[in-house]
């Protein structure tokens, strides 16, 4: 489970679920005593069996719906339950719970009395469920809600060769000391790494007969020299199965770092935060860490 898979819309759903849980313990009714003494200790909350079916249709439906939406973010693409994905089931439950909560605001035997009205628990539950349903429905439609809940680490300043301090990784644990970025020109055989332009002592210079091979142009690096690196996509792009099938297994979102573990021509084999691997066919404009 990786929290970077969550979006801002998911954060709205989580916050609304917490508000709903708190509201469920508050008074369902409010009583206007008009200055007279009255005992409010017996006022029920949303968990009271006297208010059935408010508990299953409002509280439990809303909370279970939020759990299904969040759980669906960590499931592989294409996995479903009875033909629907978990987030689709969760969205349907949150809309149903909001609809049920809306009807609790009208009527009721006790509310025939002018001194009895909607309590703070009922009002907050309706607000929480309306926000939850809106977050569930609009997350995939509004770019601001579709953005990652937790942003990717900011890459450090690039080196003159265009690579960060780590081998494409935006932080600690990057490439080893002296390792060249992917695609960089390899040093000729016998060249000194870390030269500063100062002449070397005479005894370190190779003999003229031995220096001739080093002056020749080095052969291009074989394809097997590929080393993993981190990258981000400029726009959302599909990730296809490693077996070459056209089935999309995931979608790479902008603002999130992914690990390139292999290269197939112009395509990259990428790994997501939850361990899924697939082929990114469109690599134009990708940003290396």
Q: Could you give the 3-state DSSP secondary structure of residue 110? A: helix
* Per-residue pLDDT tens digits of the chain, which is 289 residues long: 556 678 888 999 999 999 999 999 999 988 877 656 566 657 889 999 888 899 999 999 999 999 999 988 877 766 677 878 888 999 999 999 999 999 988 866 555 566 778 889 999 999 999 999 999 999 888 888 888 877 655 544 444 444 444 444 454 444 444 444 444 444 444 444 444 445 444 444 444 444 444 444 444 444 457 888 888 888 888 888 888 778 888 889 888 888 898 888 888 999 888 778 889 988 888 988 7
Question: Which sign does the torsion angle of CA 262, 266, 267, 270 carry?
Answer: positive
Q: What is the pLDDT of residue 212?
A: 44
CA distance 112 to 108: 7
CA distance 71 to 90: 9
Query: Sheet harboring 287-288: ordered strands across?
Result: 248-252, 237-240, 277-280, 267-271, 258-264, 229-232, 287-288
Task: Evaluate whether 42 touches 129 at the Cβ level (below 8 Å).
Answer: no
Q: What is the pLDDT of residue 108?
A: 60
For residue 11, report the phi and psi dihedrals to the nearest 5 degrees: -65, -35
Chain centroid offset of residue 132 CA? 18
DSSP H helices, the chain, are 8-23, 54, 61-72, 86-103, 120-138, 143-146, 208-215
Pick from 247, 258, 281: nearest CA to 78: 247
Class of the 3-146 domain?
Answer: mainly alpha
Q: What is the pLDDT of residue 42?
A: 77
Enter the pTM of the model: 0.52
CA distance 175 to 33: 72
Q: What is the pLDDT of residue 168?
A: 43
Q: What is the pLDDT of residue 36?
A: 63
Q: Which fold has domain 225-288?
A: SH3 type barrels. (2.30.30)
Domain boundaries, the chain: 3-146, 225-288
């Amino acid at each position: 489970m990786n929290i970077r898979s969550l979006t801002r819309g998911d954060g709205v759903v989580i916050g609304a679920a917490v508000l709903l849980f708190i509201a469920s313990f508050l008074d369902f009714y409010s009583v206007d005593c008009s200055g007279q003494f009255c005992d409010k200790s017996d006022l029920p909350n949303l968990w009271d069996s006297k208010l059935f079916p408010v508990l299953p249709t409002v509280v439990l439906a809303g909370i279970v719906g939020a759990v299904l939406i969040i759980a669906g973010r960590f499931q592989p693409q294409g996995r479903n339950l009875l033909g629907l994905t978990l987030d689709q089931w969760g969205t349907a439950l949150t809309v149903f719970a909001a609809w049920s909560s809306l009807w609790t605001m009208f009527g009721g035997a006790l509310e025939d009395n002018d001194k009895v009205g909607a309590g703070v628990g009922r009002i907050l539950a309706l607000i929480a469920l309306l926000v939850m349903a809106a977050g569930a429905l609009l997350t995939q439609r509004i770019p601001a809600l579709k953005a990652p809940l937790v942003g990717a680490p900011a890459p450090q300043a690039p080196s003159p060769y265009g690579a960060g301090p780590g081998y494409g990784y935006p932080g600690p644990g990057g490439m080893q000391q002296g390792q060249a970025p992917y695609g960089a020109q390899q040093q000729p055989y016998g060249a000194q790494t870390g030269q500063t332009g100062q002449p070397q002592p005479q005894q370190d210079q190779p003999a003229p007969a031995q220096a001739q091979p080093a002056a020749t142009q080095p052969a291009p690096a074989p394809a097997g020299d590929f080393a993993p690196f981190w990258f981000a996509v400029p726009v959302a792009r599909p990730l296809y199965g490693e077996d070459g099938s056209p089935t999309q297994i995931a979608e790479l979102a902008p603002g999130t770092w992914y690990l390139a573990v292999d290269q197939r021509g112009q395509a990259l084999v990428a790994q997501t935060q939850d361990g899924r691997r697939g082929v990114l066919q469109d690599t134009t404009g990708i940003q290396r860490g």
